[in-house]
Amino acid sequence: MTADATVARPALRLDGDVWLGANYWSRTGGPFMWRTYDGAVVREELRILRDHGVTLTRSFFFWPDFQPAPDTIDEEFVARWRDFLRASEELGVATVPTFLVGHMSGEDWDVPWRGGRDLYRDGFMLGQQAWFIREMVRRTVDSPAVAGWLISNEFTNYAGPSDPDYVRAWGWCASTPYGPAAPPSRSRSATVPGRWS
């Protein structure tokens, strides 16, 4: 786009590359892929996706694995994640990591330490979600493979309905941790049931 160009909003088309993407879980474990991570298989799968024209994956931190306890990140899973990011970069396939994966493939996958606390209203849970997002951004922000971040996957299926004011506050709490660590060139988004942006 030239400096003197104007774009009417809403724009149907902006200059730049178009992404063709797909949700990605490895065949080595689906949602549990980080437990059975196989870097060679992941590279093969990413290569196949790239060869079919895919330029972006939507990838997922499986929250129960990456945060097994409050204020705790499992660095073994982070090391596997970093290998995935290296593979994505090597093969030229960008990725959009999704943080709070509590619902996936028709099932809820809760963190074992939640104890029935409300994800929208409970201060401890709001703090833990914000902390997890901040810590994962901090650990991945330097990867050129990361095109942006997504807060959650089908969160209302997992957390249930709530008062709109609480949901808005949750969205603010969950997006605040991106802060200065996240370059403005990287996309950030919350999810709406049935679609993501």
Residue-wise pLDDT tens digits, 112-152? 999 999 999 999 999 999 999 999 999 988 999 999 888 88
Distance CA 173, CA 122 (A): 12
Count of CB atoms within 10 A of residue 188's CB? 15
More confident residue, 66 or 176: 66
Q: How far, CA to CA in Å, does 95 sit from each of 24, 30, 45, 54? A: 9, 17, 14, 11
Distance CA 126, CA 158 (A): 15
More confident residue, 191 or 125: 125
Structure tokens at 124: 């401890």
Report whether 32 contacts 62 (CB < 8 A).
Answer: yes
Mean model confidence pLDDT for the chain: 84
Query: pLDDT confidence of 94, banded at 50, 70, 90?
Result: very high
pTM above 0.85, yes or no: no
How many alpha carbons fall within 13 Å on the CB side of residue 115?
7
Distance CA 174, CA 5 (A): 34
pLDDT, mean of residues 26-53: 97
Q: How far, CA to CA in Å, does 14 sit from each of 34, 57, 67? A: 36, 21, 38
Query: pLDDT confidence of 8, banded at 50, 70, 90?
Result: low
Q: What is the pLDDT of residue 73?
A: 98
Class of domain 21-189: alpha beta
